[in-house]
Amino acid sequence: MISSSGVTQTIESLFGPASELITVSDFIESASTILAEISPPDGDDDDVDMVIAHECSVSDIKDELEQILNDPLLAASLVQDHEQEVGVLYTSYGKNKKPGRKPPSPDTETLPSDVLRMRRELEEVQLKSWKLSTESVMFVRPPRNSDYNSLVKIRPMAIGASVGGGPEGVLTISIYNKVPWGPSYVSRLFQHAYLASQSLQDVYSTLPCIFAASPSSGGSNPAHMEPGCAICVENVLYCDSQEYSKEILEHIAGAKRATLKPSTSRRTLAETKLSSLSLRLHFPYPVHHAGNCQHFIVVEQVRLCHHSDPVSGYPIALQLTPPLPSLCYMCHKVPATWSVVGDVRLGESPSLVCGPCWDALGNPIEGVVVTPIPT
């Protein structure tokens, strides 16, 4: 709800450039019309699929990559060349570049013939984007924790929505949380696939937050916060109750830096279908609930439902960021491996302790409960 060039740059660095405004229902209708025009007559679907699969096949590239990666000498050479190239970019054009000697290049006369042949083949690649340019340093980074996935396979809901008979759209939506060590930085928590016929209430229902429980629904409210949820999409506020929307609008009116004041929709979260929204890809939309708890939803993809997609179980979990292990309460250096309850030698109970620190304490006293932390 704050508009400035600095905010725009921050959004693009975290989520990527936002797309143009997309009306989901118009996209589904136009895409379905185009698909119907290019679809083959009945009975020819298998032949067309085989032709498309043959044209889009990358089996030759896959075979060559597997051949190189299965050779320890060639694979090590690729990794070494890549690390050296990235190091040169950081040394010469990085944000925190330091003067010094550039890393020496290996002598080509001492390299094996297979490595030299592979290098010549790579140098003959005509793609301009194949080699890293000086601007590449802005996009090179080590993997974040949110880049990993705890799920081995997609996880549908036990009791979820099903695909209907007409044209159906699928939206890939990610949830981002603020990180405790940086108030202006967010990290992806998980990603789900929703049907366009589902509502904003379905999106909110998958939010894994302890404050999402409402006393009116029989859940617990550990922080004793006011129940309610508001999702702002393209400057339109969707709430589950009129009372909560008034509180949000009063808060925005009192904010000094707020330049965009949203309008309130007459439809609740449950009444607002995803297909009725006009939204942008890769743009964060704030979610406020339980008082001052805030998250962000980002639509990563909008597409038609394919025949290979699951027909039920929506929303389907696609990605779950693995939780970071807690550090030892004693040394604050290594991940904890034991949970200790009732030990007066430690400052709190339960206390998370690593293996070396627990061994240094010696045998536990009577009544102490020690439980290994699963990894």
Say which range, 50-64, 86-100, 234-248, 312-326, has the weakest mean pLDDT. Answer: 86-100
- Of 138, 166, 195, the residue that ends a domain is 138
Based on the domain organization, do 152 and 271 belong to the same domain? yes
Please report, for the domain that includes residue 256, its CATH number.
Answer: 3.10.290
65 backbone dihedrals φ, ψ, rounded to 5°: -65, -45
Q: Count the neighbouring beta carbons within 10 Å of the beta carbon of residue 32.
A: 15
Average pLDDT of the residues in 67-84: 89
Number of domains the chain contains: 3
131 with 152, same domain: the answer is no
pLDDT at 82 over 90: no
DSSP string, 317-360: EEEEPPPPPPBPTTTSSSB--EEEES-TTSSSSSEEE-HHHHHH
What mean pLDDT comes out for the span 235-264?
Answer: 78
Q: Is the pTM of this model over 0.85?
A: no
How many helices (H) and strands (E) the chain has is answered by 9, 13
Are 156 and 275 contained in the same domain?
Answer: yes
Give ∠ CA 223-228-234 in degrees, rounded to 5: 125
Per-residue pLDDT band at 20 (split at 50, 70, 90): very high
Of 138, 171, 192, the position where a domain reaches its end is: 138
Statement to judge: residues 286 and 357 lie in one domain = no
Residue 225 lies in a domain: yes
Note whether 228 and 247 are same-domain residues.
Answer: yes
Answer yes or no: is 183 within a domain: yes
Structure tokens at 67: 């051949």
Token pair 């007409």 is found at: 166
360 shares a domain with 298: no
- 273, 298, 320 - which closes a domain: 320
Same domain, 198 and 232: yes
User: pLDDT tens digits, residue range 267-298?
Assistant: 989 999 999 999 999 999 999 887 778 899 99
| Residue 44 counted as domain residue | no
- 39 within domain boundaries: no
What pLDDT, on the 0 to 100 scale, is given for residue 364?
81
Residue 161 and residue 309 in one domain: yes
Mean pLDDT of 110-125: 86
In a domain, 32, yes or no: no
Rounded Cα distance, 315 and 312, in Å: 9
Range in 6-10, 17-21, 153-157, 197-201 the model is least confident about: 6-10
Examine the domain organization and report whether 238 and 273 are in the same domain. Answer: yes
Same domain, 94 and 227: no
Structural domain boundaries, residue 118: 54-138
Q: Are residues 12 and 86 in the same domain?
A: no
Q: Is the pLDDT of residue 146 over 90?
A: no
State phi, psi for 369 to the nearest 5 degrees.
-105, 120
Q: What pairing do the DSSP bridges indicate for beta strands 338-341 and 351-353? A: antiparallel
Q: How many CB atoms lie within 10 A of CB 299?
A: 25
Packing angle, helices 72-93 and 59-69, rounded to 10: 90
pLDDT tens per residue, range 329-358: 899 888 899 999 888 888 888 889 999 999
Q: Do 179 and 264 belong to one domain?
A: yes
Poorest-confidence range of 100-104, 253-257, 289-293? 100-104
- Tell me if 119 is assigned to some domain: yes
What amino acid occupies position 50?
M
Section 297-323 average pLDDT: 92
